Amino acid sequence: MSDKVLVAYGSKHGMTGEIAERIGKVIRDAGFAVDVSPAGTAKSPADYRAVILGSGVYAGMWRRQAAKYLRTHEAELAKKPVWLFSSGPTGSGDLEKLLGGWSFPGGLRAVAERIKPRGTVVFRGAFDEAKAGFFEKWIMKKVKAEYGDFRDWPVIEAWAQEIATTLKVI
Ligand SMILES: Cc1cc2nc3c(=O)[nH]c(=O)nc-3n(C[C@H](O)[C@H](O)[C@H](O)COP(=O)(O)O)c2cc1C
């Protein structure tokens, strides 16, 4: 096992990829070697000392490749420190209200419970109207979601910093 940390992500329009890059930068700046990679091409968790896995949320689900990574590598992930994040709600209103009770994809809850992540978090996301297809615009209107970039970088960086601090003592 190497001493590297993996940040793997599922992202359709790149917003979660940028969150993953920022998390990677904070952990790298804290002195760790880090790989940031789309979940579809990420190496096995066996190659890392810790894994941070996240995804953009679409209709309450993670992107397929991120969900697949979690399921496929359950046994390896259960052996090491793991943190999970979702990038979802667009809107500046109260996060709890925007989430409406959602905290993690229902279909992945059982596998996540077996992995026992050290942390699971939901970050506000971003959605660019110019990138939206017809169907996506229809959904966004239906769920009354706002367009724009609501990613809260200080919150994301603080979460990553906490991970780096933990990694130094375990
Ligand atoms: C069709 C569609 C459905 C979405 N469904 C949800 C959802 O169920 N819950 C949520 O919090 N955000 C939802 N979002 C917002 C996205 O998760 C958010 O824009 C995210 O940051 C996108 O990340 P990505 O660019 O990495 O794919 C949805 C966005 C679209 C376009």
Grouping H, G, I as helix, E, B as strand and the rest as coil, residue 37 is strand
Is residue 51 within 8 A of residue 77, CB to CB? The reply is: yes
Nearest alpha carbon, ligand 1 atom 3: 58
Site to substitute for ligand 1 among 55, 90, 147, most atoms within 8 A of C-beta = 90
Task: Compute the distance from residue 140 Cα to the ligand 1 centre, in Å.
Answer: 9
What CATH number has the domain spanning 5-169? Answer: 3.40.50.360
* Ligand 1, atom 16, residue with closest C-alpha: 88
Q: Are 11 and 86 in contact (CB under 8 A)?
A: no
pLDDT in tens, the chain (170 residues): 578 999 999 999 999 999 999 999 999 999 999 999 999 999 999 999 999 999 999 999 999 999 999 999 999 999 999 999 999 999 989 999 999 999 999 999 999 999 999 999 999 999 999 988 999 999 988 888 899 999 999 999 999 999 999 999 99
List the residue whose alpha carbon is closest to atom 31 of ligand 1: 136
User: Domain locations in the chain?
Assistant: 5-169
Question: What are the C-alpha distances in Å from 62 to residues 105, 108, 169?
Answer: 7, 9, 31
Pocket of ligand 1 from Cβ distances under 6 Å:
11-17, 56-60, 87-90, 125-127, 136, 139-140
Q: Output the pTM of the full model.
A: 0.97
Distance CA 123, CA 121 (A): 7
Q: Are strands 82-87 and 61-62 parallel, antiparallel or unpaired?
A: unpaired
